[in-house]
């Protein structure tokens, strides 16, 4: 070992300084808020189904949200194609049809719930079984349509760029 070599503790202290207690507390609070929002958002919507939930972006125009994965875009497209008749099972089958491969039903369902939280889709409970999540029907929102259009346009641009290399 060379005399100039530092041990791992010295390297970490030098190049990866510790966060201050205030920074660590602030980060912890942000994570806790996100967890609570995800955990209790479903319970709030079921407690007061007759009252409209206030929009996160009340008064603002819907904005497109970037969808990072092909599957996310496909799920949003499937909800759009089913035009409000999309229960989770129909959406899963439509996603498999569009992707031409098998997909995880639970992954699709979790992404649907995430998209609902992001206000890209909305869901309505089945009147005969209002507490059953798998009986909900999903419909795309204006923000979801805008996001889907932006994702499709980006995919078309990428495809066009790749054609130049062929």
**Position with higher pLDDT, 111 vs 40:** 111
For 48, phi then psi, to 5°, come to: -130, 70
Is the residue at 53 inside a domain?
no
pLDDT of residue 46: 45
**What value does the mean pLDDT take over residues 154-166?**
70
**In-domain check, residue 49:** no
pLDDT band for 56, please (50, 70, 90 cuts). very low
In the chain the beta strands, taken as DSSP E runs, fall at: 121-124, 137-140
Query: Is residue 56 included in any domain, yes or no?
Result: no
Whether 52 is in a domain gets the answer: no
Domain count, the chain: 2
> How far apart are the C-alpha atoms of 117 and 37, rounded to whole Å?
9
Domain enclosing residue 89, as ranges: 64-165
- Residue-level pLDDT at 48: 41
Read off the CATH number of the domain in which 99 is found: 1.10.10.10
Residues 40 and 68 occupy one common structural domain: no
Percent pLDDT > 90 in the chain is: 22
50 and 118 Cβ atoms separated by less than 8 Å: no
pTM score of the predicted model:
0.55
pLDDT given for residue 125 in this prediction: 85
Q: Phi/psi at 124 (nearest 5 deg)?
A: -125, 135
Confidence of residue 121 (pLDDT cuts 50, 70, 90): very high
**Which long-range contacts does 15-21 make (Cβ < 8 Å, 24+ apart)?**
none
Q: Tens of pLDDT along 85-117? A: 888 899 999 999 998 888 888 888 889 989 999
Domain match, 17 and 74 both? no
**Do 140 and 89 belong together in one domain?**
yes
């Amino acid at each position: 070992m060379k005399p100039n070599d530092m041990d791992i503790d010295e390297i970490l202290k030098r190049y990866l300084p510790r966060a201050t207690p205030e920074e660590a507390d602030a980060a912890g609070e942000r994570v806790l808020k996100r967890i609570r929002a995800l955990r209790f958002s479903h319970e709030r919507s079921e407690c007061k189904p007759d009252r409209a939930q206030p929009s996160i972006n009340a008064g603002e125009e819907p904005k497109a949200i970037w969808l990072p994965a092909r599957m996310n875009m496909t799920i949003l497209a499937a909800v759009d194609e089913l035009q409000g008749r999309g229960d989770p099972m129909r959406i899963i089958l439509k996603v498999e049809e569009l992707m031409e491969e098998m997909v995880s039903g639970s992954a699709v369902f979790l992404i649907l719930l995430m998209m609902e939280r992001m206000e890209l889709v909305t869901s309505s409970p089945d009147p005969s079984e209002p507490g059953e999540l798998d009986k909900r029907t999903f419909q795309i929102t204006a923000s979801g349509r805008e996001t889907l259009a932006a994702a499709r346009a980006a995919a078309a641009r990428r495809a066009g760029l790749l054609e130049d290399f062929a």
